[in-house]
Amino acid sequence: MGLKLHGSKFSTCTQRVLTVLAEKGVTDFEIVSINLPAGEHRREPFVSMQPFAKIPVLEDDGFFVYESRAICKYIAAKYADQGTQVMPSTSDLKAFGVFEQGCSIEHSYFDGPASKIGWEKVFKQHKGAGPADEAKVAEYVADLESAFAVYEKILSKQGYLGGNEVTLADLFHLPYGTLIQSVGFGSVFEKYPSVKKWFDSLQARESWKKASVPAGGPPGKPQANGKP
């Protein structure tokens, strides 16, 4: 029985998972579309799978796991022997420690300001919550620039956040990084040469090209992930 991914091809977090499925060469899966505008994520049967009412959820032969980063790690472990080795084995403690450090960097210093920029400049208007608060946007951009100043130091010494090979720690940046570029904040990346080179290389990966341009749908139309 193949995997089922309950989500939306246009959501940032679903695209994160689709990228990893492509990296691992997993083709035996089904996308079960969740209609966010209609509120399907807030009703049964979805809330029995995800009590926080966010997408996506991975279903694997009766087992359910939610939170996109957790799903990605599950996929990387389940298909460890195929595709890109996007997560080191726990048997190599040093490599695994650096990998987890990279994942924590993304979650702690990048995701907050990047997703908040996305909310103000894209999702807020889509939900009819009014125009962007530009003062807040400026604050979030400053936070992101501060983070990238540190990224620049790291990436000037190694190719990727988790070492010299691409891992989930890098791929996790793609949905929101691409989104904020699309709404006029590409200059945040361009200020830092090593950061720009790194992110350009991630966007050039075939896995992201597949995940970010859904079949039958226009690119550049991301959805929030069920946020109220």
Take residue 204 and report the two structure tokens written for it.
């050039």
- Cα→Cα distances 165→24, 43, 100, 107, 202, Å: 15, 41, 14, 19, 12
Q: So where are the chain's domains? A: 3-86, 93-209
CATH class of 3-86: alpha beta
Predicted pLDDT of residue 116: 97
- Burial of residue 133 (CB within 10 Å: 0-12, 13-18, 19+) is middle
Predicted pLDDT of residue 2: 85
Of 69-78, 79-88, 127-136, the poorest mean pLDDT is in 127-136
Band (pLDDT 50/70/90 cuts) for residue 222 is low
Q: 93-209: what fold? A: Glutathione S-transferase Yfyf (Class Pi); Chain A, domain 2 (1.20.1050)
> At residue 216, does pLDDT exceed 60?
no
| b/e sequence 94-112, b meaning 16+ C-beta within 10 Å | ebeebbbebbebbeebbbe
Take residue 90 and report the two structure tokens written for it.
């726990």
Model pTM? 0.93
> At residue 85, does pLDDT exceed 80?
yes
